[in-house]
Amino acid sequence: MQGSRPDITTNTTSGNSDNLRKALLFLYEVLDYWRWIAFCLALSLTIAFVYLRYISPQFLITASILVRDDAKGSEFGDTALMESMGLSPVKSSVDNEVEILKSRTLMESVVEDLHLNVRYFSTGRVKTTELYDKSPFRLTYINPEDTGKTKPATYDLTLGKKNCYKLQFGAQSYNGTFGDTLTIPHGLVTLERTSNLYSIEDQYSIVIQDPEQLVDQYRKALTISPTNKLVSTVNLSLDEVIPKKGEAILERLLANYFRASIEDKNRIADSTLAFVNKNLAEVSAELIDIEKNLERFQTSHDITDLSEDTRQLLNKSSEYEKEENRYNVQFRTVNALLQFLRSNPQHIVPAQLFVQDPGFLAIIDKYNAIQLAVAKGLITTRESHPNLKSLQAQLDHLREDLTANITSQMNDLRIGITAAGDYKSEVERKLKQIPGSERQFLEVKRQQQIKQELYILLLKKRVETSISKSSTLANARIIDRPKSGSNPLKPNKQLVILMSGFIGIGLPMAVIHLKHILNTRITSKSDISAALNVGVLAEISHNPGHERNIYSNSQSQVAEQFRVLRSNVQFLSISKQSQIILLTSSMSGEGKSFIAANLCGSLALTGKKVLLLELDLRRPRMAKDLKLKEEGFTNCLSSGLSLRDFTQVTLSKNPFDVITAGHIPPNPSELLALPEVDELILALKNKYEFIILDTPPIGLVTDARLLGHLADLSLYIVRQGFTYKSQLDIIREIRDQNQLRGLHLILNDIRAAPGSNYGYGYYLPEKRHFLNARKRNIFKS
């Protein structure tokens, strides 16, 4: 176990080092594209600043209210009532109020009150701005019902002279005068000026929206939520482009909510007042008639007052009459309640009028409380909700109890009426012994007193109910009035600039990384070493001048790399006096002939006797590139002459011998398979120290394989960004089957590849010297 730990540590360290090297390789690859990254960053930031310049910012308008939780302080509150019946409430009091604030009905009233479906815009060259309260004109519907029938439309407004204007709707135009009515496709309207200034040259537009869609839009923009479960405060927030408009919407929303809450609470009082006013009108009419009769009777009989005995009898009679009348009134009231209860099962029952029985009043209060709970529940839940069904069943049961209680009270009241009537009859028998005129006067006077007391009682009840109604409070009160934030909510300028910078840098980096991942061609030496166990003999950089003879600039980076290639070749052939070097590749265009010619030139500079033998008989190009005669190897084989007769010398400063391919034969492979080819090449080996065989691509034809047994060293050309990674399988197959002896690779046409193992920074321009020095230090192997 102890012996295995160093291996694990070594592997881990090697893996981390490899990951670091890959990361740094990608970093330096990104740095090579710094101009494009800088361009993308500048473009992204420019787009961000233009976006921030012309986008309409959205502000957050907030408000908060405190909900009065009646369930905590009232025995008959919604929550307490439902819990007392063994039911879980549909929602808490705060949750119910939140749902009411979110209701569509409430938002519809806001849109209608503020005329939000008509919007006014100022049209600029680039940006169109909504005016709202700064609009110099206002459009009003003559028929309010037309507001809900409008379809979305935009009218372009052109201002004219002398209070004239023109509305353009599609291809139709409508001319009008401010203050006068005008018929447009959306109804009869008037356009009136406001106190805001305007210019005739300005361009305006009027946008008419569908109120239903607008309600949905604002309901989505509106956020209402309780602060937390421990308190009964509710926060409201709205996103709006115009702060004043958002504040007005929340103000009207809360105002309509408070009004609806008070109206809901006053339903019992309104029902009571209606009942009192109806009876008060009847009693008032009766009292007026009685007082007129009394006045006529006194005038006609010349009666001014009554005797003491008569007055006492009258008082007793009045008391019995009042008692009988009280029983009658209560009987009529209870009977009216019974009829109301039977004919209006979904309405609140007027209570506390004349019935003073606490138990009976408690049942009525409970019944009314459940009716209100059901009404509120229907706002936020469906009628099929189990809790609402339970409440309805409870109402039915209470209605039966009320009916039984009223019937019982009516029986008791009948007994009271009979008893009071008996006492009254006894007094009236005594009153009959009084002279006729005085007795008639007494009768009328008694009726007047009874009606007057009943009238005063009704007036008192009306005043009490009115006072109770006027003191009704809403279910909530405002803590913080609607107020817009000083800074826009959206867009977040810092975030937009940060994201644009991230996109400007990250997007090109992602493209570079994606290009690297999707790349199917060889890009670096690491691609080769990861797939093959074949040494890379040299790396040749890109030749920007497209010169075939790189020694025209002997201090260039490419010239230095060919010196490295020459040194490596000489090192591999140090034990041999003569060396045959075969050059091939996977396909045409990988720089095989370019490397062959310049390798010969580099070897010739050291005084070596070098021959370049072009054996690419299918697409020969050496004669053209080196400006030599076309006659060459195939001409020698067909004519029977010596190769010396077809040997040419280059005209460069580092001359070497060349035998071109000659004319293209019809059967190149069969020609190279002849024994005479081997004999000719072996004969040349005695005359030259280095013979370079420029053969066809081995990935396309078999010619190079036919010559592989003659070579002492085989150089396989791989071109960066050109050779496919899949073509490395050809090299693996050649190596495994030993088809080419001394196989080594040359990576050609390297373009500023980071991580090179060779020190070429000395030959690079000054501005890249430091960067490449850093690369050598980091990636040095």
Q: Give DSSP secondary structure letters for 156-216.
A: EEEE-STTEEEEEETTEEEEEETTSEEEETTEEEEEEE-SS---TT-EEEEEE--HHHHHH
209 plus 300 within the same structural domain: no
Same domain, 697 and 595: yes
| Ranges 265-274, 437-446, 541-550, 692-701, most confident | 692-701
Quickly state the pLDDT bin for 1 (edges 50, 70, 90). Answer: very low
Tell me, yes or no, whether 430 and 511 share the same domain.
Answer: no
Instruction: Tell me the C-alpha distance between 637 and 642, whole Å.
Output: 9
Mean of all residue pLDDT scores within the chain: 79
pLDDT exceeds cutoff 50 at 79: no
Q: Which positions ≥6 away from 242 have C-beta within 8 Å?
A: 59, 130, 132
The pLDDT-based confidence of 546 (bands split at 50, 70, 90) is: low
Asked if residue 64 is part of any domain, the answer here is: yes
Coil, helix or strand at residue 711: coil
- Sheet with 657-659, edge to edge strand ranges: 536-541, 743-750, 713-719, 579-585, 690-694, 610-614, 657-659, 648-649
Confidence category of residue 553, pLDDT binned at 50, 70, 90:
low
Full residue range of the structural domain in which residue 701 is found: 525-750
Question: Cβ distance 220 to 214 under 8 Å?
Answer: no
Whether 692 maps to a domain, the answer reads yes
For the chain, the maximum distance between any two Cα atoms, rounded to a whole number of angstroms, is 180
| CA dihedral of 196, 198, 204, 209, whole degrees rounded to 10 | 10
How many Å apart are CA 569 and CA 563, to the nearest integer? 10
Q: How is residue 64 annotated by DSSP?
A: E
pLDDT score of 545? 62
Q: Which two tokens stand for residue 472?
A: 């009704």
Q: Which residues of 212-238 are buried (b: 16+ CB within 10 A; e: fewer)?
A: eebbeebeeebebebeeeeebbbbbbb
Rounded to an integer, the average pLDDT of 346-375 is: 71
Mapping DSSP onto H, E and C, the string for 87-141 reads CCCCCCHHHHHHHHHCCHHHHHHHHHHHCCCEEEEEECCCCEEECHHHCCEEEEE
Per-residue pLDDT at 768 exceeds 60: no
Across 343-467, where does the E strand assignment appear?
none
Average pLDDT over residues 360-387: 75
> Averaged over 284-296, what is the pLDDT?
80
pLDDT tens digit sequence for 117-136: 888 888 877 778 888 888 88
Scanning the structure block, which residue is given the tokens 């070594």?
A: 10
Peptide bond into 491 cis (omega under 30): yes
Q: Is there a single domain that holds both residue 358 and residue 385?
A: yes
441 plus 378 within the same structural domain: yes
pLDDT at residue 157 greater than cutoff 60? yes
Q: Please say whether the beta carbons of 697 and 586 come within 8 A.
A: yes
CA distance 662 to 616: 10
- Token output for 407: 């019937």
Neighbours of 431 (CB within 10 A): 19
Beta-carbon contacts of 322 under 8 Å, excluding residues fewer than 6 positions away, are 450, 453
Contact indicator for 592, 584 with CB cutoff of 8 Å: yes
Q: Per the domain annotation, does 554 fall within a domain?
A: yes
Q: Closest Cα partner for 511 from 521, 500, 520, 503?
A: 503
Residue 92: half-sphere exposure toward Cβ, Cα within 13 Å:
15
Residue 691 has pLDDT above 90, yes or no: yes
- Which of 381-385, 438-442, 513-517, 518-522 has the lowest average pLDDT? 438-442
Does residue 503 surpass a pLDDT of 80?
yes
What pLDDT digit, counting tens, does each position of 4-14 carry? 444 444 455 55
Tell me what pLDDT residue 776 has. 45
Q: Is residue 694 domain-shared with residue 634, that is, in the same domain?
A: yes
pLDDT above 60 for 281: yes
Give the pLDDT confidence score for residue 756 in this predicted structure: 43
| pLDDT above 90 for 657 | yes
- Residues 295, 219: one domain? no
pLDDT score recorded for residue 660: 93
CB 544 within 8 A of CB 751: no
Question: Residue 52 is encoded by which pair of tokens?
Answer: 């921030």
- What are the pLDDT digits (tens) for 174-200? 888 888 888 888 778 888 888 876 666
d(CA 287, CA 280): 10
Q: Is the dihedral of CA 737, 738, 740, 744 positive or negative?
A: positive
In a shared domain, residues 514 and 579: no
Please tell me what DSSP assigns to residue 33: T
pLDDT in tens, 586-603: 999 898 999 999 999 999
pLDDT beyond 70 at 581: yes
Task: State whether 505 and 465 are in the same domain.
Answer: no
User: Is 774 inside any structural domain?
Assistant: no
Q: Is residue 326 pLDDT above 80, yes or no?
A: no
Give the model confidence (pLDDT) of 17-71 as tens digits.
666 766 776 777 777 788 888 999 999 999 998 888 888 888 899 999 888 765 4
C-alpha torsion 513→515→519→525, nearest 10: -50
Tell me: do 466 and 530 sit in the same domain: no
pLDDT of residue 582: 95
Say whether both 235 and 285 belong to one domain.
no
- With respect to residue 712, please indicate whether it lies within any of the assigned structural domains: yes
Share of the chain above pLDDT 70, in %: 81
SS3 per residue for 670-684: HHHCCHHHHHHHHHH
pLDDT given for residue 72 in this prediction? 45
* CA 751 to each of CA 30, 649, 723: distance values in angstroms, whole numbers, following the listed order: 14, 32, 14
Query: Mean pLDDT throughout 371-396?
Result: 76
Do residues 390 and 450 share a domain? yes
Helix axes 358-380, 386-431, angle to 10 degrees: 150
Q: How confident is the model at residue 314 (pLDDT cuts 50, 70, 90)?
A: low
Is the residue at 758 inside a domain?
no
User: Residue 2: which pLDDT band, with cuts at 50, 70 and 90?
Assistant: very low
- Which single residue is written with the structure tokens 């004919």? 343
pLDDT (0 to 100) of residue 110: 92
Q: What share of the chain is helix, strand, coil (3-state, %, to 5)?
A: 55, 15, 30
Residue-level pLDDT at 435: 59
Among 201-215, 295-309, 311-325, 686-700, the range scoring the smallest mean pLDDT is: 295-309
The length of the chain is 781
| pLDDT for the residue 304 | 53
C-alpha 614/C-alpha 40 separation (Å) is 48
Tell me: pLDDT of 84 over 60. no
Across 12-16, 94-98, 427-431, least confident range: 12-16
Give me the sheet containing 128-130, strands edge to edge: 128-130, 118-123, 203-208, 153-159, 164-169, 172-177
d(Cα 495, Cα 405) in Å, to the nearest integer? 71
Residue 486 counted as domain residue: no
Edge-first strand order for the sheet with 476-484 is 222-226, 233-240, 59-67, 476-484
- In the prediction, which pLDDT does 3 show? 42
- For residue 164, pLDDT over 60 is answered with yes
Q: Is residue 483 part of a domain?
A: no
Q: What pLDDT sits at residue 39?
A: 92
Query: Tell me, what CATH number does 741's domain have?
Result: 3.40.50.300
User: What does the alpha-carbon distance between residue 638 and residue 641 come to, in Å, rounded to a whole number?
Assistant: 8
pLDDT tens-digit profile of 441-458?
767 777 777 778 888 888
pLDDT of 611 = 94
Q: How far apart are CA 372 and CA 220, in angstroms?
A: 28
SS3 63: strand
Q: What confidence tier does 411 reach under pLDDT thresholds 50, 70, 90?
A: confident
Closest CA to 238 of 117, 88, 91, 61: 61
Q: What total number of domains does the chain contain?
A: 4
Q: Using an 8 Å Cβ cutoff, are 723 and 521 in contact?
A: yes
User: Helix count (H) and strand count (E) of the chain?
Assistant: 24, 21
Give residue 580's pLDDT band: very low, low, confident or very high (50, 70, 90).
Answer: very high
Take residue 272 and report the two structure tokens written for it: 């009571």
Dist CA 692 CA 708 (whole Å): 13
Strands 233-240 vs 59-67: parallel, antiparallel or unpaired:
antiparallel
Q: How confident is the model at residue 714 (pLDDT cuts 50, 70, 90)?
A: very high
